[in-house]
Amino acid sequence: MTTADILITNGIVLTMDSNDSEIANGAVAIKGDQIAAVGPAADLAPWKAARVIDAQGGIIMPGLVNTHTHAAMTCFRGLADDLPLMTWLDEHIFPAESHLDARKVYCGALLACAEMILSGTTCFCDMYLFEDAVAQAAKDAGIRAVVGEVLYDFPSPNYGPIEQGFAYSEMLIAKWQDDPLITIAIEPHSPYLCAPDLLQRAFSLTEAHGIPLVIHLSETPGEVAALKEKYGRTPVQHLADLGLLAPNLLACHCVALTAEDIALLARFDVKVAHNPESNMKLASGIAPIPQLLDRGICVGLGTDGCASNNNLDLFQEMDTTAKLHKVKTLDPTVLDARTVLRMATVQGATALGLGAMTGSLQPGRRADLIIVDIRKPHLTPMYHPASHLVYAAKGSDVTTSIINGRIVMENRHLLTFDLDKAMEDVMRIAAVIRATQ
């Protein structure tokens, strides 16, 4: 086979494969939705392709994977900041959220997809309300997504009582099961908002369908204290007791962990989503990521919702991750650039259960990749590509994005939907939200 649909050539290829292979002057051939070949540009020169993209010396790499966000919260970006957590939630976010409906969530999520694609993200994991609308927005935007309706003990503005929440989740599973971009997950909010039977039923559903279970876990010391008060156990121990610790569990945040918690997460191969900027902005604390990595735990990066960030740029999140743990540990060698880059790509994909599908450039993997322009003053000179990607590049340096073999952004132009209209829609929603404050 020496024909391809797309041939990207003349770039530095970072494969993020198990050897972290880097090809100085490389090329990637794409056929249909898959990567057909990766190698030196000279080796791929004989390939014939309907479309040839010249990377112009830039970096060709897997798209970034955002393992935890609430996409539709773009509607609340910058609505309220710098407040105590409960004031922020009770007086601003909850009143605003009470006005949400499927259309508003669609609009907010579509705008988030634009921001993510324009900053190099090709896959995200979402937890929110009206997730069918989020799945549709992701599909319309052409971005890969793991989505799940948030489940909790109290009635939801979307589905009402929890019984219907499970029915809604099963509807999502059935509706999206053959979609090339969308994976459905089951997403109980947290051990503090979900009773043990809700959690166990959610877990059973993931077992039956072989899908991910996503939960907020040990985000703040206050949450841990409340769980201990209620169950006499840390949140992680509580989930262990309930039988929920498993390789398909994605635990988001994991800021406040004991050594025993870490051992449990490692023993059951639980995956972790690290959201440093949100944890900083909300003053939640700093997750013990170096210890998690030392124990072999798979950690991906996430932005969290952009009401607590306030952006969805994983390039900036990589930079913050690498720096934050250095100053936390007072050790400049922890979380080096390559480690952080793997967290944002292949480790993130693995955390979502998609490691065999995306997150690295290898033949047979889906063609989810980006091109980063390095002909910029802030990326000049270049000694080590990984260093630049983590410490110097911005999302705005991504020129081209291909997801599932489709070019969704080129020369910084989004090709899959009308961005101006998407922005106008959210501005109109914001006018409504402003009136709730």
Question: Which residues, 348 to 387, sit near its own copies by CB under 8 A?
Answer: 375, 377-378, 380-384, 387
Q: CB of residue 416 vs its own copies: minimum separation in angstroms?
A: 13
Q: CB of residue 353 vs its own copies: minimum separation in angstroms?
A: 28
What values do phi and psi take at 418, rounded to 5? -80, 100
**Residue 285 binds its own copies (CB under 8 A):** yes
**Residue 171 binds its own copies (CB under 8 A):** no
Q: CB of residue 359 vs its own copies: minimum separation in angstroms?
A: 22
The alpha carbon of residue 173 and the mean position of all alpha carbons in its chain are separated, in whole angstroms, by 20
What values do phi and psi take at 358, rounded to 5? -145, 180
Rounded distance between C-alpha atoms, residue 41 and residue 10, angstroms: 6
Q: CB of residue 234 vs its own copies: minimum separation in angstroms?
A: 19
Scanning 69-77, 97-105, 182-190, 351-359 for contacts with its own copies by CB under 8 A, the matching segment is 69-77
Tokens of 136: 């549709």
Among 24, 42, 45, 83, contact with its own copies (rule: CB under 8 A): 83
Say if residues 370 and 63 touch (Cβ distance below 8 Å): yes
Q: Which is nearer to its own copies, 69 or 309 (CB)?
A: 309
Q: Which is nearer to its own copies, 187 or 319 (CB)?
A: 319
Among 312, 344, 354, 398, contact with its own copies (rule: CB under 8 A): 312
Q: Which is nearer to its own copies, 123 or 335 (CB)?
A: 335
Residue whose token pair is 């509580």: 238
Please give the residues from 172 up to 211 whose contact with its own copies meets the rule CB under 8 A: none
Among 36, 61, 150, 337, contact with its own copies (rule: CB under 8 A): 337
**Residue 51 binds its own copies (CB under 8 A):** no
Please give the residues from 316 up to 335 whose contact with its own copies meets the rule CB under 8 A: 316, 319-320, 322-324, 326-327, 329-333, 335
Say if residues 6 and 50 touch (Cβ distance below 8 Å): yes
**Residue 85 binds its own copies (CB under 8 A):** yes
DSSP string, 171-227: HHHHHHTT-SSEEE-BEE--TTTS-HHHHHHHHHHHHHHT--EEEEES-SHHHHHHH
Q: CB of residue 156 vs its own copies: minimum separation in angstroms?
A: 24
Rounded distance between C-alpha atoms, residue 393 and residue 405, angstroms: 24
Scanning 44-52, 111-119, 243-251, 291-299 for contacts with its own copies by CB under 8 A, the matching segment is 111-119
Among 266, 336, 410, 415, contact with its own copies (rule: CB under 8 A): 336
**Residue 284 binds its own copies (CB under 8 A):** yes
Rounded distance between C-alpha atoms, residue 5 and residue 37, angstroms: 12
Tokens of 178: 């053959």
**Residue 121 binds its own copies (CB under 8 A):** no
Among 99, 233, 281, 295, contact with its own copies (rule: CB under 8 A): 281
Q: Which is nearer to its own copies, 69 or 237 (CB)?
A: 69
Please give the residues from 388 up to 427 whose contact with its own copies meets the rule CB under 8 A: 388, 391-392, 394-396, 419, 422-423, 426-427
Q: Which is nearer to its own copies, 88 or 192 (CB)?
A: 88
Q: What's the sign of the alpha-carbon dihedral 216, 430, 143, 159? A: positive
Tell me if residue 160 falls in helix, strand or coil.
strand
Say if residues 200 and 243 touch (Cβ distance below 8 Å): yes
**Residue 435 binds its own copies (CB under 8 A):** no
Say if residues 138 and 144 touch (Cβ distance below 8 Å): yes
**Residue 341 binds its own copies (CB under 8 A):** no
**Residue 261 binds its own copies (CB under 8 A):** no
Among 57, 84, 160, 232, contact with its own copies (rule: CB under 8 A): 84
Scanning 33-41, 115-123, 205-213, 294-302 for contacts with its own copies by CB under 8 A, the matching segment is 115-123
Q: Which residues of 44-70 are buried (b: 16+ CB within 10 A; e: fewer)?
A: beebebeeebebeebbbbbbbbbbbbb
Q: CB of residue 41 vs its own copies: minimum separation in angstroms?
A: 20
Tokens of 423: 């922005």
Q: Is the peptide bond before 279 cis (omega within 30 degrees of 0)?
A: no
Scanning 145-153, 283-291, 341-349, 358-366 for contacts with its own copies by CB under 8 A, the matching segment is 283-291
Tell me if residue 243 falls in helix, strand or coil.
coil
Q: CB of residue 85 vs its own copies: minimum separation in angstroms?
A: 6
# binding residues, its own copies (CB under 8 A): 71
Helix axis angle for 131-141 and 102-118, nearest 10°, is 40
Rounded distance between C-alpha atoms, residue 301 and residue 250, angstroms: 12
